[in-house]
Amino acid sequence: MHSRYVRTLADVAVGDRPVLIGLSVRRLFCDSPSCDRRTFAEQVEGVTVRYQRRSPLLQHLVEMAGVLLAGRGGARLLQILKVPLSRTSVLFQLMRLRVPSVGTPRVLGVDDFALYADAYGTLLVDADTRLPIELWAGRDAEQLAAWLRTHPGVEVVCRDGSLVYRQGINDGAPNAVQVSDRFHLWQGLSKRVSDIAAAHRGCLSAAVPDSEPAAPAPLAERSEAADTPARRHAKRLFEAVHAVSGTGRSLSAIGRELGLNRRTVAKYARAASWQECIRRTPPRRSTSLDPYLEYLRQRWEEGEHTATVLHQEIVAKGYLGHYQRVKMAIAPLRRGLPIDTPRERPPSPRQVARWITITPTRRGLHATEALRRLLAHCPELSQAHDLVRQFAAMLDAGDAAPLPGWLGELAASRLPALVSLAKALREDQPAVVQGITTPFNSGVNEGRITDLKLQKRIMAGRAGVPLLRHRVILMAHLRRRYP
């Protein structure tokens, strides 16, 4: 023994009071001539760690607060627990933790996620253990190929339809079986159906049932409607854009020449007629006042024209809305017009895509009837519906034998959205076949990315990639340890 000295260690609070441990330990020396250490301190197992002023229990508490809540949140929690630390100290203790090392996975999941704006990152997940392995900024092929070369032995890789990841897997693990995830295949098909519905927006009003057959408008009224300034402006822009859109010039160049935004040029270039570019006034939605409209009409005919009195009367009948809504509802009556009744809105392209892609048995009665009317009116959407149901049958049966014929039907459909999809799937057909016929999928990746986004938002989007990587990987192991 060389000497003694006192170590001061912080421990977890007791009874809402911080605890300090004063521990007298020995300083030892070695009298062997070959020993380089002149003196060294004694360590008490379970109480002290070299160069540390906290007990192992308190140190573990600080580290877990950093893993769970990051800097600011962890500092607030520790302050409640009578362990005052700054957010930077909490992050420092978090980044000192070693990330658990994992072996080469047999089934690897690869997917991207948005860091911020147009910046993306890549997440690798072990599909067998369901634990994240690696996370880095960017989604380039060379980075993925380099990781696969340093971790040989990956047999199956689940990915989306990204060309970048496909190239990286081919370069880094050419013998691995690539699986195009079923969710991304279905998501891509749904997006194309939504594009088709948007291109045939004029047909969507056919899904709304006619309450009563309306007489055709007189020719004079229709000509007046066609001569409004908005319609003349839309027709003039449509003709100007289509006059130069077939020359092979880019949308940006056309926009600069015509003095229009690129998105406006794209909207008019995609439209088949100028009527599709007119902003339509949506029909009024139903409100809580609708059950009382008939009563208001009756009281108006009886001679009661004061909105305040009418509001008080329907409040007594159970109306919970504001007086202003009653005043606006009876305003047409003051001009000799009928009260505006709510009408059903035409479905949006996204809603139509949802009706087409959802399982028929899960559609509601209203959606089924509306889709039936729409498909009877629009042959293009009916064709898309039939092709979607064929692909759904392949996924349900796990049989990819009809896939080549189905891709041929897509290419022959004369629908640009489906033709481009057929081209993309043909280039990735082996992985698509594996996605349909094998049980491998990217469900684990999607779950981990959802958790990753949660951790990123907890840190208000300010986390850098190293800190995000630490928290995502350590959080997954912590949940496995404390389920």
Q: What is the mean pLDDT of each run of 10 residues along the chain (483 residues)?
A: 90 90 90 82 88 91 91 91 92 91 90 87 93 92 94 93 92 94 93 92 82 43 56 86 82 87 87 75 70 89 91 91 89 81 77 93 87 93 95 93 94 91 93 93 91 86 85 91 82
- Of 73, 96, 119, the residue that ends a domain is 96
363 and 429, same structural domain? Answer: yes
330 and 402, same structural domain? Answer: no
pLDDT at residue 308, rounded to an integer: 92
445 and 366, same structural domain? Answer: no
pTM for the full predicted model: 0.70
Domain membership of residue 397 as a residue range: 187-199+348-437
433 and 353, same structural domain? Answer: yes
90 and 7, same structural domain? Answer: yes
448 and 414, same structural domain? Answer: no
56 and 10, same structural domain? Answer: yes
pLDDT at residue 344, rounded to an integer: 66
pLDDT at residue 235, rounded to an integer: 86
Three-state SS sequence of the chain: CCEEEEEEEEEEEECCEEEEEEEEEEEEECCCCCCCCCEEECCCCCCCCCCCCECHHHHHHHHHHHHHHHHHHHHHHHHHCCCCCCHHHHHHHHHHCCCCCCCCCCEEEEEEEEEECCEEEEEEEECCCCEEEEEEECCCHHHHHHHHHHCCCCCEEEECCCHHHHHHHHHHCCCCEEEECHHHHHHHHHHHHHHHHHHCHHHHHHHCCCCCCCCCCCHHHHHHHHCCHHHHHHHHHHHHHHHHHHHCCCHHHHHHHHCCCHHHHHHHHHCCCHHHHCCCCCCCCCCCCHHHHHHHHHHHHCCCCCHHHHHHHHHHCCCCCCHHHHHHHCHHHHCCCCCCCCCCCCCCHHHHHHHHHCCHHHCCHHHHHHHHHHHHHCHHHHHHHHHHHHHHHHHHHCCCCCHHHHHHHHHCCCCHHHHHHHHHHHHCHHHHHHHHHCCCCCHHHHHHHHHHHHHHHHCCCCCCHHHHHHHHHHHHHHHHHCC
Residue 223 lies in a domain: no
Q: Give the pLDDT confidence of 285-306 residue by residue, as tens digits.
A: 667 888 888 899 899 999 999 9
Residue 398 lies in a domain: yes
450 and 433, same structural domain? Answer: no
Residue 226 lies in a domain: no
pLDDT at residue 19, rounded to an integer: 92
87 and 65, same structural domain? Answer: yes
- Of 96, 117, 137, the residue that ends a domain is 96
24 and 81, same structural domain? Answer: yes
Q: Give the pLDDT confidence of 309-360 residue by residue, as tens digits.
A: 999 999 998 888 889 989 988 888 888 878 776 666 788 899 999 999 999 9
Residue 131 lies in a domain: yes
pLDDT at residue 284, rounded to an integer: 61
pLDDT at residue 483, rounded to an integer: 76
Residue 249 lies in a domain: no
Residue 389 lies in a domain: yes
111 and 81, same structural domain? Answer: no
Residue 215 lies in a domain: no
Residue 280 lies in a domain: no
82 and 40, same structural domain? Answer: yes
- Of 300, 334, 368, the residue that ends a domain is 334
The total domain count for the chain is 4
